[in-house]
């Protein structure tokens, strides 16, 4: 009987811990360590504040795939400035002046599985560290066409974050002049950025730039990311991957078919000691590989058209893997063989 009572108590305790608090309208979530579940679609009506505001740490907000949308006002669907925030399964479309999810100083948080299409900024995360941004979709974000517009699929500043398996396609700036559009915009140190897709980022006005993946900072690891078909129409530049910083590693990157009315570039490097390896940077409209400044930037086993290599200044070093098998006529390996390889200048490589 004692065991039965203990079991019932344990089940009741666990059920209480995981039972969600239902959300049925735009709300301020104030209770720490709570799980909030959105029960129905929301239409925000107050442009002066976000629809969902998280004001305590260790809150989980589950959007339950219910749509939060009002493109006729300029506001934010979900906002947090608290650590250990979890936001998942939100669908937010806030229009040309809105933001899907905005985070400020939310260290040790997780943003997972959200669909943030048709905002000006899908996800805006400022000064966050040690967090995970995983499997979010931020497509078709756009602006109102005023000058110097900025459009972002995913915007993040911070360090030691894991940014993976996100999709940010067709993010488009319509500014008449000086616009910028970004699929992924990452600024910080020691971020892991991998398995993301950022295709068809576009800018249509004069003197604008489009960027599939923009990374500024040092010691970032960028791996297995894809960015193709980014476009800039009039007197503008388009970049697949743009890196400004030092000691970054880019591994297995695919960047192709980037087109600009002035220049379309598959990868642009501005910094030193960056390693680009095992990547495909073919088929740009202008430059497959562009070096703006910095020394000891190595392109290892990376495919691109050498006729489309552009080095303004700095140092771009091309290297290839070499596997040599030494054996006799009977295919028996020769031990202790000494091999010397000479460069075109007759120096030992």
Tell me: the pLDDT tens digits for 187-212?
A: 999 999 999 999 999 999 898 999 99
- CA distances from residue 201 to 169, 231, 232, 288 in whole angstroms, order as listed: 6, 6, 9, 17
Three-class SS of residue 35? strand
Cα gap 289→193, rounded to integer Å: 20
Cα gap 187→214, rounded to integer Å: 8
The average pLDDT across 140-150 equals 88
Q: pLDDT at position 336, please?
A: 78
Share of the chain above pLDDT 70, in %: 92
Q: pLDDT at position 14, please?
A: 39
pLDDT surpassing 70 at residue 110: yes
Tell me which of 335 and 178 has the higher pLDDT: 178
């Amino acid at each position: 009987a004692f065991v039965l009572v203990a079991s019932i108590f344990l089940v009741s305790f666990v059920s209480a811990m995981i039972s969600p608090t239902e959300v049925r309208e735009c709300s301020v979530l104030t209770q720490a360590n709570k799980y909030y579940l959105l029960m129905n679609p929301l239409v925000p009506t107050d442009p002066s504040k976000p629809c969902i505001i998280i004001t305590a740490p260790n809150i989980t907000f589950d959007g339950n795939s219910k749509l939060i949308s009002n493109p006729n006002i300029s506001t934010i669907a979900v906002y947090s400035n608290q650590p250990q925030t979890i936001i998942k399964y939100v669908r937010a479309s806030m229009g040309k002046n809105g933001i899907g999810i905005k985070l400020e100083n939310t260290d040790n948080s997780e943003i997972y599985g959200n669909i943030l299409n048709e905002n000006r900024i899908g996800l805006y995360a400022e000064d966050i560290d040690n967090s995970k941004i995983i499997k979010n979709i931020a497509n078709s974000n756009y602006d109102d066409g005023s000058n110097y517009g900025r459009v972002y699929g995913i915007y993040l500043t911070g360090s030691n974050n894991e940014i993976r398996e996100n999709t940010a396609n067709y993010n488009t700036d319509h500014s008449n002049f000086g616009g910028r559009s970004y699929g992924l915009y990452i600024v910080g140190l020691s971020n892991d950025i991998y398995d993301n897709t950022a295709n068809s980022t576009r800018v249509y006005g004069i003197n604008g730039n489009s960027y599939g993946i923009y990374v500024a900072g040092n010691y970032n690891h960028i791996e297995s990311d894809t960015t193709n078909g980014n476009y800039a129409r009039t007197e503008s530049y388009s970049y697949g991957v743009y890196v400004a910083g030092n000691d970054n590693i880019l591994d297995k990157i695919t960047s192709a078919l980037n087109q600009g009315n002035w220049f379309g570039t598959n990868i642009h490097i501005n910094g030193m000691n960056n390693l680009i390896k095992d990547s495909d940077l073919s088929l740009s409209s202008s430059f497959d590989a562009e070096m703006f400044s910095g020394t000891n930037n190595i392109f290892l086993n990376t495919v691109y058209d050498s006729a489309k290599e552009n080095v303004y200044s700095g140092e771009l070093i091309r290297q290839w893997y070499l596997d040599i098998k030494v054996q006799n006529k009977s295919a028996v390996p020769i031990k202790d063989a000494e091999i010397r390889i000479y460069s075109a200048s007759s120096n030992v490589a």
